Structures are given as C-alpha cells and as structure tokens.
Structure 1
Amino acid sequence: MALLAVYIAGLVAIGWYFNKKTEIRYRFLACGTKNRALSLGFSAAASWLTAGGILAVIGYYMLQGMGSVWAFVAPNILALLIIALLVGKIKNLPAITQPELLEQRYGSAVRWPIALIITVVMILFAVADVTGLSLVLQVFYGLDPLYAAAIVAIAVSLYVTLGGLSAVVWTDVVQFAFLSIFTIAMAFAAVGTVADGGFGTPAISSSELFGNVPDVWWNPFSIGIPMVLIFVLAIVPGWITEQDPGRRSGLHGMQNQQG
C-alpha cells in the first residue's frame, strides 16, 4: 500500500510540475514544445498497450501464432509510420482538436457531431480503463471496488487537470516503463515455471516448449493474404485517427524546434 501511495503521488507530482510550466492555454492543451520523439513514442505505446493488450492479445497470439501480428502489432507500427509521414503536412494547420480539423475541411456542421461522438467514445474508454485498473487494485490490495475505482479516477483526474497533456505524456512514459518491465518479467517467470514443471505440467526444456508447435504457427501469412489486407486496411485508419490531437500538436512543437 505504501508503494502504491508513492506511485500515485509521483503521478500527481508530474501533473503539478507541468502545472507550474504551462502559462497559456495552447501549451496546456498541446504538450508545449519540448516533448521529443522518444517521450511521444512512449506515450503512444502506453496508450495502445492496455490490460487487454497484455492478456487477451497474448492469448490470441498463442493460439494463432505469427499470423496474429496483423491484428495488432503490424497496424500499430504502420500507423506510427504513417503518422510520422503526415506530421510535416498537418503541423501548420491552425487547429488543436480533431473537430477543429474536420471543421476546416468540411464546414462547421460536422464539428459538434464529431465532438459528441469523440466525447461519448472517450467516456466509454475511460470507464473501461478505470474498471480494469480498479480490478487490479481489488485483486492485489483487497480494496473495495468503489474505493479502488475512486483512487484510479481521482489520481488520473488530478494529474491531467494540473499538467495538461504534457503531464499525460510523461506519466505515460513512467507507466509504460513499469508495464514493460512487468510484462517481460512475467514472460520469463511463466516460461521458467512451465519448464520446471510448474502448474502441474511435466518439466520440459525451453527449446522443447517453443519447438512443440506446428510449422504453420511460425508463418506470418498463415491467415492468408486477403485476411492480412483486411486487418491492415480496416484497423490502420482507426489507429491513426484515434491519436489524440495533443500528441499531434506535441509533434508540431517538436518539429518547429528541430526546424
């Protein structure tokens, strides 16, 4: 509980730090101009690597093999590359939010419907995220569901409100670092446990564990070229448009500095 309290206090402290450094509305909303590619990349990765990505997607990979990379890994990488190519064209647009961008192209009639759709979708995402993390607190700390959800919601609201999207970016960096370390450690622990005969399974070597799969498991095109194209063409546009405008504006500032 002490470590949890220190962790949450650290996230709020990041928000407080950027609260002192953001004097104007644009910097509050647009991550300022000091965020570099590394921090923005970590933020994007943390936004996409959720509890579902760790649990459900890993299970899907284990069942489908290398062919499953087209459902999550490849679209993420392609979306980041496409976003990088588009930054130079959109960085000078006089807009911060996605409704503003669409309004410039299609007129004012689309601004409010798009804003409403984004608001509803983001509320649902927020509810799912708060619920997922509160479940973690319930399991590991034995907290009441209501208290667990309140801790998550209040902590996130504090650092976002205090520090704006700069705080979001840097708390994402911290969270992604912890998440990566945890995921890698759990992978080694799980493989080691199975290899040693844990979970009631006979002890086998790591080479036998990874080699005991059909050859098709290693084929990245095992799902077929048509399915590969469907996955890429259906998912990549969503990954691109999902990126919040703050990260886009942060890239804007980063390119201005480099220019």
Structure 2
Amino acid sequence: MDQQSEWSADQLSILSENLSYYTTCVNIVKRIHTEGPAESKKLPKFPSLPKRKLLSLYGEQAKKRKMMTPEELHQYLITKEIDVTKTARKEVFIFSASDITTPDIAVAKLQEGYRQIQRQEATSMCFNLQYGYLLDVTFELYAKEKESGLQGQTWDDWLKQNIGISSSYSRKLREISRLLRPYMLRVSTVGQPFIEVYSMRKELKAMIVYSEEIRRYWSTQNQPIILQLETMFSVTFQPRAPARARKNNIDLRLLIYFIVFNLYIL
C-alpha cells in the first residue's frame, strides 16, 4: 500500500468512531428483532451520534449557514412579519391538479399558500413561547417536589411519561421562551418555523442587546394577536391523594389556571 492510500491517524479515529456507532446500532436492531414485540415495549438507549461524519473523509463538510449581523437579522425578521389578525384559510389547500392550468395560476396558488403557512407558523410561535414558559413553571414545581422527596422520577422520565416529549425538546422550548417571550406581542407576527428560530438563538441574543431601537421595535405590538381557543379546559378536580400516592405526579391545578389566564390576557 503506497503512502497516499493509507489513512492518517485522525482519519482512522473517524472510522473507528463511526464503526463503533453503527455496529452498536445494528446490534440493538438485531436484538429487538430477535426478542420480538413482547420484549420490545421499551425502546433501548441508542449511542450518541459520531461527532465527525464519514463525509469528512472525502473533504465534504456540512455547509454552515452564514451568520447574520444584528441589523441584518432585524431586517430579515421584519420581512417575515405576517398579518395575524386573520386565521389561516384551509380552503387555500383544497384543490386538484386540474385546477393548475398555467404557471401564473400555480404561482398565485403557491404565494397564497405560503402566506397561510406563515400565518400558521406565527400562531405556533406564540404557542411555543407560552408553552416554554409553562414548562419553566412546571419544572419549578417538579424541583420542589423532588427536593421534598415527593418526586422519584427524573425530569426526562416525567416528561416522557406524562407529556410524551423529551427533556431535550423541553430545553429548546424553554430557552427560546426565556429569550423571546418579553417580545412575544411582536415576535408572534413572524412566520418562521420554530426549528429555524431556534437555530438563530445566538444571533437573536446578539440582536436584542445590539440597540435600544431594535428592542423597542420588537417590544411594540403592531397588531392584535388572535388565539383560537375552540375548546376550553374541562377539568374535574379529585380529592388530593396522600403524599405517597402523589410520589410521581405534579399538582396540575396551578398549571391549568396559569395557562388559561395567560392565553386570555394576550
């Protein structure tokens, strides 16, 4: 083997890391297949993803998004503001292929559809900020019960069992809520997917501290926020169980009052 065909020590490390990861994943899948559905009710813990991908061996790196300056991000978000005084129109998405007979019709349909998607994303942003705040309040209650010995589960296990979300997703919601909730009345008019907003969190922090003018802009409400509450909470409170019976439960009464109150004051 000539010198050019030999892997370097760093490349061998990348290969070893990926080989270990994929071998472990294959073994887990084989074990699940062998044990059958009766023994596979709980998903096994998979290993962490390799820090360096195999593509890096071929000189291919993931393209990084260009970071925006505070002023650039400010102007970019302004272009994404959408009229949220109206609700998203579902009928825009009801059509057949035979309706799209010309490029002009297609463009008009796509433009209107995108406006509705942005409107829905803006509404979702409002909900995400409120939900992140609700998670913060819930975690404080959880921590108090944990400290007093009334809570035996980890925060991650509690979330998965009671809500069906991971602590990782919870952290993202809470982080963005802490960052943007003070500006919710204006940020909730921005039609951007949550995942994109989260990827900009460092830039958003820089933008907020950049100037008083920018902070003032995003603190100013320019249109009323419409929250569709088609169904309100219907709750029947049961007598409070003994402490032992509440070992793995959070008292949700305060949370219900909290979210209803916050949704109505917007």
Normalised by the size of structure 1, how large is the TM-score?
0.22
Normalised by the size of structure 2, how large is the TM-score?
0.21
Higher relative contact order (CA 8 A, sep 6+): 1
Bigger radius of gyration: 2
More helix by share: 1
